[in-house]
Amino acid sequence: MALLAVCTTLTITSPVTAQSSQMKDDMEQLAMDLHVGVDRSTLTPAQKEQLRDDFRELREAHQNHQMLKGLRAARSIRKALDSGAFKPEDQKRIKADIQAIKEAREEGRGFM
């Protein structure tokens, strides 16, 4: 009976842990790509600081399950990406990171 309980627990928590791990990996990838992209961009120091604040908000929203806060932060990041200040390859990579996070979040909630 104890073995059955352990197997059931592992079966139930493994996909959640895998999704959580994937989301964490996606957020780390976004952080790295944003850092590189911001450094190579033509953003002003104030714009760079705003983008860092937006990413911090996005991460906090993810950790605290605050969907609206996360959407606002992601929208602000996309706006900066579309400003023309980023190199096209950085812009493409960061947008792909954001899309991966969105997809992982939707999969975790049972959408799709």
The answer to whether the beta carbons of residues 67 and 88 sit under 8 Å apart is no
The model's pTM: 0.72
The structure tokens listed for 105 are: 């979040």
Q: Domain residue spans in the chain? A: 22-35+44-108
Task: Give me the tens of pLDDT residue by residue for the chain, a chain 112 residues long.
Answer: 433 333 333 344 344 455 567 778 888 999 999 999 999 999 999 999 999 999 999 889 888 888 888 889 989 999 999 999 999 999 999 999 989 888 887 776 543 3
Q: Which of 90, 111, 11 is nearest to 43 (CA)?
A: 90
Does residue 91 come out as left (phi exceeding 0), alpha (psi in the -120 to 50 range) or beta?
Answer: alpha
The answer to whether the beta carbons of residues 78 and 72 sit under 8 Å apart is no
